[in-house]
C-alpha cells in the first residue's frame, strides 16, 4: 500500500469463461517471484478463486483484477517486516476505448517519459507501481490521445502505457521483442499465435519510431483493449490512415476466439 509493493493481473471473462486464466496466473506468480513475494496460495487455488469470484458476481462478460500486496508491516521499506500477503480479487465489467476507435483507429503520440530501465524495475514485472506508465499516459491525454508510445532506455520502441504495439510492413507483422523493455502481454502472445496460424510471418524484433512512421498498419493489444488499430503517431498518418487488412483480419480472429463469432 505505501510503496506499490505488490503485483497484479487484469483478466477477461467471455461467455462465462475466464480467458487464458492459466497464462495470467503464471505471469502473476512470475511477477511475484521477481519481487521476492511469496503468494500464500497455490496456482490452482488462485485460478479457482478467480472462477469463484466471477461466478459469485454473476459475470458472464467482464473483467477480473487480481491484486497481491505484501501485507501490513512497518512504515519502513524492509519487506521482511511484513507478513501475511493479501490477495484481492475484483470482478467487474470494463470498457476501455470508445467503440468507434476500433473502426477508425486511435491516434498516438510519443511520450517523453521512457519506459522503466529494465535494470531498475523490469517492465516484465506487472507490479503495483505503475507511475512510469501513468506519467506517460498523462502526456498522451494532454495531447488528446487515449494511448501514448513509450521508448526504452536505448531509444527503441517499447510499448504503450498499457498495451503492446505491432506494425505491419509488406505483409510482415513485427512487434518489439521481450528484451525491448516491455511487459510480455498475454494478448500479444495470443495475437502472435493467431497470426502464425493464419500464415502471417511474425517477427519479434527491435523497432524504432521510423518503422512505425513508415508502416502500412499499426495496432495495439491488451487484455482490456483487445486488438485496436492505431492510425497516426506524432501527427504522422500511418499507412492510409485507416485500419488495414491485416489488423482487421487479426481483430476478427481474436473476436472469433473470444466470442465465437
Instruction: Give whichever of 10 and 71 is closer to ligand PMP, judged by the CB atom.
Output: 10
- Least spacing, CB of residue 226 vs ligand PMP, in Å: 9
Query: CA dist 194 to 39, 88, 114, 207, Å?
Result: 32, 32, 30, 21
DSSP 17: E
If binding is defined by CB under 6 A, does position 175 make contact with ligand PMP?
no
Site for ligand PMP, residues 133 to 152, rule: CB under 6 A: 133
Binding mask 43-72 for ligand PMP (x = CB under 6 A): ------------------------------
Query: Contact between 258 and ligand PMP (CB under 6 A)?
Result: no
CB neighbours of residue 238 within 10 Å: 25
Distance CA 63, CA 93 (A): 5
- CB burial of 88-107 (b: ≥16 within 10 Å; e: otherwise) equals ebebeeeebbeeebbeebbb
The whole-angstrom separation of Cα 258 and Cα 17 is: 9
31 binds ligand PMP (CB under 6 A): no
Measured CA to CA, the distance from residue 18 to residue 117 in angstroms comes to: 32
Which of the stretches 83-91, 172-180, 215-223, 247-255 binds ligand PMP when contact is defined by CB under 6 A?
Answer: 215-223
81 is catalytic: no
Q: How far is the CB of 83 from ligand PMP (least distance, A)?
A: 29
Least gap, CB of 33 to ligand PMP (angstroms): 17
Identified catalytic residue from 17, 107, 126, 242: 126
Stretch that binds ligand PMP, among 45-53, 86-94, 159-167, 208-216 (CB under 6 A): 159-167
C-alpha cell recorded at residue 251: 481483430
Q: What residues are labeled active site?
A: 126
Amino acid at each position: 500500500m505505501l510503496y506499490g509493493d505488490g503485483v497484479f493481473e487484469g483478466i477477461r471473462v467471455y461467455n462465462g469463461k475466464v480467458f487464458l486464466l492459466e497464462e495470467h496466473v503464471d505471469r502473476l506468480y512470475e511477477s511475484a517471484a521477481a519481487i521476492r513475494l511469496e503468494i500464500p496460495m497455490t496456482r490452482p487455488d488462485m485460478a479457482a478463486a478467480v472462477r469463484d469470484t466471477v461466478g459469485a458476481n454473476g459475470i458472464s462478460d467482464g473483467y477480473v483484477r487480481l491484486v497481491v500486496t505484501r501485507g501490513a508491516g512497518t512504515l519502513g521499506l524492509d519487506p521482511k517486516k511484513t507478513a501475511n500477503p493479501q490477495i484481492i480479487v475484483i470482478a467487474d465489467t470494463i470498457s476501455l476505448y470508445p467503440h468507434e476507435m476500433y473502426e477508425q483507429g486511435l491516434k498516438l503520440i510519443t511520450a517523453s517519459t521512457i519506459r522503466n530501465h529494465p535494470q531498475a524495475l523490469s517492465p516484465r514485472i506487472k507490479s503495483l507501481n505503475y507511475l512510469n506508465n501513468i506519467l506517460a499516459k498523462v502526456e498522451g491525454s494532454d495531447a488528446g490521445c487515449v494511448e501514448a508510445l513509450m521508448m526504452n532506455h536505448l531509444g527503441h520502441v517499447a510499448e504503450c502505457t498499457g498495451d503492446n504495439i505491432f506494425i505491419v510492413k509488406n505483409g510482415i507483422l513485427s512487434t518489439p521483442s521481450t528484451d525491448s523493455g516491455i511487459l510480455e502481454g498475454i494478448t500479444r502472445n495470443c495475437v502472435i499465435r493467431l497470426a502464425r496460424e493464419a500464415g502471417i510471418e511474425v517477427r519479434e524484433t527491435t523497432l524504432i519510431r521510423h518503422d512505425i512512421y513508415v508502416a502500412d498498419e499499426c495496432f495495439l493489444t491488451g487484455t482490456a483493449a483487445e486488438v485496436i488499430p492505431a492510425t497516426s503517431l506524432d501527427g504522422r498518418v500511418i499507412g492510409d490512415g485507416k485500419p488495414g487488412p491485416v489488423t482487421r483480419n487479426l481483430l476478427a480472429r481474436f473476436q472469433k476466439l473470444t466470442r465465437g463469432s
